[in-house]
Each structure stands twice: as C-alpha cells, then as structure tokens.
Amino acid sequence: MNVTKSLLIGGGSVIGIIGIYNLMKIKRDSVEMKSSLSDVRLLSIDKNLFSGGIIFKADVIIENPTTTKFKISKPTVFITSAGRPIAQSRPSSGQIEIIGMGSSTIPDIQVKVGWGALIGQGANLIKIVTNILAAHIKGDNEALKSHIGRPLEVSYSTYINGTIAYKSEPVKIL
C-alpha cells in the first residue's frame, strides 16, 4: 500500500513538473512571436440600410522564431474609431498551427462595420450610404473618408491556449 501511494505521489509530481515546464515554455515562446497585419482592405459594401455596412478584410502574419510549434485560435480583428470599438470579426474556435522557425499567414479575416455603428443615429442614412457607395465605385478613397466622417483603425489579438499572446496597436485604415 505504501509503495503504491509513493508511486502515485511520485508520478503526480513528475506530471506536474512536466506541465509547469510546458506552460513556461509556451509563455516564453509566445513573447518571442512576431505578428502583423497585412493587406487590410475594403472588401465590399452591403447596401441594406438595416443590416448592411462596410466589410473589411485583413490578413494576419505570424512569425515564429523559435523551434516550438504552436496551435493558436484564429485571431480576432477589431475595428475602432478614435479608440472606441465599433466592430470585430466573429470569434472562431478553429485552431491554426504555427510551425517552428517559420511564418504563417491567416488570410481573409472579415469584419463588418454596420451603418449604425459607422454613421450613428439621426444622420441622413440614405444620403450618406449613397455617397459612400459612389466613392467606393469610383475608387476615390479621399471621398470615402470624407463621407464616413470619422477615422477608422484596425487591431487584432491572437490567443494560445485561451490566453492572450499578443494584442496589436491600432493602425489607421481610413
């Protein structure tokens, strides 16, 4: 009985030490990871006045300078205006493997900014949406910025095993 008890305590201790070592290794390696936004662009405009808005698309590049490979959840992309959140991508439980000593791109993360969040209440919604659509069709980014009437920034966060590994600084997109 004492031998069995000693083996169980010893085995539990070894498993605990290995677990703590692996957590420390993940924490150390995640700090060394580098990530950035790539190719943030206006994908489309949904004209529906009630459920529509501007849809942005972004890619996130993650570089792993360590030899350890990770599984991370898909990054969540946030759109803010003057530092205030107005939209975010849909959270995903999907896992993405980041290989050691390599780079991985997580492509095509979409964020829809609804007309209400973008323009606000009480504005002449039909006129503003029409002007935004016309500027988008012409490819006139300056007119698009003018009709939106507020700055837009994008940022993102990536997660390893449910803990924040990295949260980017906002980058101006419009």
Cα 68 from Cα 71, distance rounded (Å):
10
Q: How far apart, in Å, do the first and last CA atoms of the chain sit?
A: 71
Say what the pLDDT of residue 170 is. 93
Half-sphere exposure of 12 (CA within 13 A, CB side): 6
119 to each of 49, 124, 125, how far by Cα in Å?
A: 11, 9, 7
What is the helix (H) or strand (E) element at residue 151, kind and residue range?
none
The answer to whether residue 51 sits within a structural domain is yes
Sign of the C-alpha dihedral, residues 149, 150, 151, 155? negative
70-106 core/surface letters (b: 16 or more CB in 10 A; e: else): bebbbbbbbbbbeeeebbbbeeeeeebebeeeeebeb
Within-domain flag for 95: yes
Whether 6 maps to a domain, the answer reads no
What are the beta bridge partners of residue 79?
87, 154
pLDDT at 78: 96
- Give me the pLDDT at residue 30, please: 45
Tens place of pLDDT for every residue, the chain, 174 residues? 566 655 555 544 546 455 555 555 555 544 467 888 988 999 999 988 888 999 999 999 988 888 888 778 888 999 999 889 999 999 887 888 888 888 888 899 999 999 988 876 556 788 888 899 999 999 998 998 888 888 999 999 887 766 766 788 999 987
Residue 102: what pLDDT?
A: 86
Is residue 7 domain-resident?
no
Evaluate whether residue 21 is within a structural domain: no
Question: Which CATH number characterizes residue 59's domain?
Answer: 2.60.40.10
Counting the structural domains of the chain, the total is: 1
Q: What pLDDT, on a 0 to 100 scale, did the predictor assign at position 70?
A: 79
Measure Cα distances from 151 to 41, 54, 91, 107 in Å. 15, 14, 24, 24
Report yes or no on 98 lying in a domain: yes
CA 97 to chain centre: 16
Quick check: is 9 in a domain?
no
- Domain extent at residue 97: 33-172
- How many C-beta atoms surround the C-beta of residue 162 within 10 A? 6
